[in-house]
Amino acid sequence: MTDGHRTIEQWFEDRDWRPFRWQRTVWKHCLENKKGLLNAPTGSGKTFALFMPLLINWINQNPESYQQKENNGLQLLWITPLRALAKDLELHMQDVVDDLDIPWQIQRRTGDVSSSVKQKQKRRMPEVLITTPESLHILLAQKGYPNRFKTLRSVVVDEWHELIGSKRGIQTELGISRLKGMNPDLTIWGVSATIGNLEEAADVLHGVHPNAERPIIVKAKQSKKIHVHSVLPDEIETFPWSGHLGTKLIPKVLPILDKSGSTLIFTNTRAQSEIWFQRLLEANPDLAGTMALHHGSLDRNVRDWVEESLHSGIIKIVVCTSSLDLGVDFSPVDTVIQIGSPKGVARFVQRAGRSGHQPGADSTIWFVPTHALELIEAAALKDAVEDNLMENRDPILKPFDVLIQYLITLAVSEGFKPDLLFDELKHTFAYQTLQPDEWNWILNFIQNGGESLTRYDEYNKVEVDEDGLWRVFDRKIARRHRMSIGTIASDSMLRVKYLKGSNLGRVEEWFISQLNTGDTFWFAGRNLELVKIKDMTVYVRRAKGASSKVPSYMGGRMSLSSNMSERLRLKLREANEGRTDSIDLETIKPILDIQRTRSILPDEKQFLIEKSWSNEGCHCFFFPFEGRYVHEGLSALIAYRISKITPITFSIAMNDYGFELLSDRDIPISEALEKNIFSEENLIHDIMGSVNDAELARRRFRGISQIAGLVFAGFPGNQKKGKHLQMSSGLFFDVFMEYEPGHLLIQQAYDEVLSTQLDEARLRVALQRIQNQSVIIKEIDRFSPFAFPIFVDRLRERLSSEKLTDRIEKMQRQLEAS
Please write the tens of the pLDDT for every residue from 423-455.
999 999 999 999 999 999 999 999 999 888 888
Predicted confidence band of residue 351 (pLDDT cuts 50, 70, 90): confident
CA-CA-CA-CA torsion sign (612, 615, 616, 617): positive
DSSP string computed for 140-166: HTSTTHHHHTTT--EEEETTHHHHTTS
SS3 463: strand
Residue 155 pairs in a beta bridge with: 77, 188
Residue 4 has pLDDT above 90, yes or no: yes
* Mean pLDDT confidence for 641-667: 91
Within 10 Å of residue 153's Cβ, how many Cβ atoms?
A: 19
Buried b / exposed e along 530-553 (16+ C-beta atoms within 10 A) = beeeeebebbbeebeeebebbbbb
The amino acid occupying position 793 is D
Distance of CA 336 to the CA centre of its chain: 20
SS3 283: helix
| Residue 366, Ramachandran bin (φ over 0: left; ψ between -120 and 50: alpha; else beta) | beta
* pLDDT score for 205: 96
* pLDDT score for 326: 47
Lowest-confidence segment of 411-425, 543-557, 609-623, 690-704 by average pLDDT? 543-557
Longest dimension (CA), the chain: 87
Give which of 572, 624, 566, 621 is closest to 596, Cα–Cα. 572
Of residues 699 and 75, which shows the higher confidence score? 75
Residue 363 has pLDDT above 60, yes or no: yes
Please write the tens of the pLDDT for every residue from 137-158.
999 999 999 999 999 999 999 9
* Mean pLDDT confidence for 768-783: 94
Distance CA 583, CA 195 (A): 28
CA-CA-CA-CA torsion sign (258, 264, 268, 269): positive
* pLDDT score for 667: 94
Of residues 308 and 9, which shows the higher confidence score? 9
Give which of 360, 361, 261 is closest to 317, Cα–Cα. 261
In sequence order, what are the residues at sequence separation of 6 or more whose Cβ sits closer than 8 angstroms to the Cβ of residue 24?
none
| H/E element, 227 | strand 226-230
- CA angle 240/245/247 to nearest 5° reads 165
Q: Using CB atoms within 10 A of its CB, is residue 146 exposed (0-12), middle (13-18) or buried (19+)?
A: middle
- CA angle 146/84/37 to nearest 5° reads 60
Share of the chain above pLDDT 70, in %: 89
* pLDDT score for 815: 65
* pLDDT score for 330: 47
Distance CA 293, CA 272 (A): 11
Residue 806 has pLDDT above 70, yes or no: no
Of residues 714 and 76, which shows the higher confidence score? 76
What are the distances in angstroms from CA 123 to CA 117, 367, 481? Answer: 10, 51, 22
Q: Using CB atoms within 10 A of its CB, is residue 518 exposed (0-12), middle (13-18) or buried (19+)?
A: exposed
Lowest-confidence segment of 87-101, 309-323, 401-415, 626-640 by average pLDDT? 309-323
DSSP string computed for 40-108: --TTSSHHHHHHHHHHHHHHHH-TTTTTT-------EEEE-S-HHHHHHHHHHHHHHHHHTT----EEE
Distance of CA 800 to the CA centre of its chain: 30
Residue 361 has pLDDT above 90, yes or no: no
Of residues 381 and 716, which shows the higher confidence score? 381
Of residues 34 and 242, which shows the higher confidence score? 34
* Mean pLDDT confidence for 47-66: 94
Distance of CA 691 to the CA centre of its chain: 25
* pLDDT score for 681: 92
Share of the chain above pLDDT 90, in %: 53
Please write the tens of the pLDDT for every residue from 87-141.
788 988 999 999 999 999 999 998 778 888 888 888 899 999 999 999 999 999 9
Residue 650 has pLDDT above 50, yes or no: yes
* pLDDT score for 696: 84
Q: Using CB atoms within 10 A of its CB, is residue 51 exposed (0-12), middle (13-18) or buried (19+)?
A: buried
* pLDDT score for 814: 67
**Taking a C-beta distance cutoff of 8 angstroms, is the pair 599, 784 a contact?**
yes
* pLDDT score for 716: 54
Predicted confidence band of residue 458 (pLDDT cuts 50, 70, 90): confident
Predicted confidence band of residue 701 (pLDDT cuts 50, 70, 90): very high
Distance CA 577, CA 466 (A): 77
Distance CA 12, CA 10 (A): 5
Of residues 234 and 36, which shows the higher confidence score? 36
Average pLDDT, the chain: 87
Distance CA 509, CA 709 (A): 22
* pLDDT score for 550: 63
Please write the tens of the pLDDT for every residue from 735-747.
999 989 899 999 9
Distance CA 556, CA 469 (A): 44
Residue 7 has pLDDT above 70, yes or no: yes
- CA angle 178/184/185 to nearest 5° reads 130
